[in-house]
Amino acid sequence: MEILKNPHIDFLGKARYFIALSALFIGGGLAVMLSQGLRYGVEFSGGTQLILHFQATPEVDQIRHAVDQVSGGAVIQSYGDPAKNSVLVRVAQEAPENDLDAPARSIREALAKSYGKNPVLESSSEIVGPIVGAELRQKAVYLTVLGLLAQLIYITARFKGGAWGVSAAIAGLHDILISLGFLTLFHYEITLNVIAALLTLVGYSVNDTVVVFDRVRENLGKRRKDPLPSILNDSMNQTLTRTLISNGTTLLAVLGLYLFGGEVLRGFSFTMVIGVLVGTYSTVFIAVPFVNWWYGRGGDASGKTVRAA
């Protein structure tokens, strides 16, 4: 199956523009993260989170007034489909060890007393201590760094050159930073599900990169006298149909998960949608151009130089 027959796109010739675009996205994302801060879920920040389903359409101001009587500074927002009359309430209040449900119970009692005209029909709560939240946050960073480091070592050994491993790691870091920027911009929380999505997209991105690198290695053996930029461009064109089919079907799957998967998986699926798009882009316009720059920075970008390295 061929979507594009014999494409001859000069990817490397346009790489500088897309690298500038990536720098713009990463810079904008970092600015948003610094100004707004990452929004951590209760599993990372610690505290109590409740999802309350009301009988009628909830009035956030009335709910806030009731909750403030027992816990000031609570985060209160609509949750999920408005037709379900659901509200998310998050408080940083630490629960006593002998009664972990105390903050959630006090909030439900305050709502029953001050907002009894619209009773809570159903509620669920999640409780995490501040020490556990800090440890989880630290472990999430370690896992992400270890994932990037592991792929750097593996690809360096597999392709027998530091350029290949470093370029794949840079592309993975690029994908994570842009994904975090979009998560912050659209007010998604960093939860365990989102961390799982970030680690998944790192693996997905490197898989796409390895496919292109394998074709480059194959062409280097066949075209010993051709310059490296020509081999890199041809390799990307030869794998373009495969990339469009595999990444396109994955995108449809995660897009369906985002649209119909419900509120619980919304952060995970949003991260995957952004990650699949950015991961495909970074293979073509970040990882491969970096390999070309690495071997061409000494003024010789021939296939012979790559094989010698």
The CATH number of the domain where 67 resides is what?
3.30.70.3220
Residue 7: inside a domain? no
What's the CATH number where 250 sits? 1.20.1640.10
Residue with tokens 């790192």: 202
pLDDT tens for each residue of 158-184 = 888 889 999 999 999 999 999 999 999
Local confidence band at 298 (pLDDT 50, 70, 90 cut-offs): low
Q: Could you tell me if 122 and 136 lie in one domain?
A: no
Among residues 128, 153, 178, the one where a domain terminates is: 128
- If you compute the radius of gyration of the chain from its CA atoms, what whole number of angstroms results? 24
**48 phi and psi angles, rounded to 5 deg:** -125, 135
Mark whether 159 and 190 lie in a shared domain.
Answer: yes
Domain count, the chain: 2
Q: Are residues 120 and 264 in the same domain?
A: no
At 263-287, the pLDDT tens digits run 778 889 999 999 999 999 999 999 9
User: What pLDDT digit, counting tens, does each position of 69-115 carry?
Assistant: 887 767 788 887 888 889 988 887 666 666 777 888 888 888 988 88
Residue 304 located in a structural domain: yes
Give the residue from 88, 112, 128 where a domain finishes.
128
Task: State mean pLDDT over 133-144.
Answer: 81
pLDDT, tens only, 189-246: 888 889 889 888 888 888 889 999 999 999 988 888 889 899 999 999 999 888 888 8
From CA 60, how far away is CA 68, in angstroms rounded?
A: 12
Tell me: do 179 and 67 sit in the same domain.
Answer: no
Residues 6+ apart with CB under 8 A from 174: 22, 26, 278, 282, 286
Contact in structure between 177 and 125 (CB atoms under 8 Å): no
Domain assignment of residue 1, yes or no:
no
Judgement on whether residues 273 and 167 belong to the same structural domain of the protein: yes
- Domain final residue, candidates 67, 98, 128: 128
Is residue 4 domain-resident?
no
Q: Which domain holds residue 22?
A: 12-41+132-308
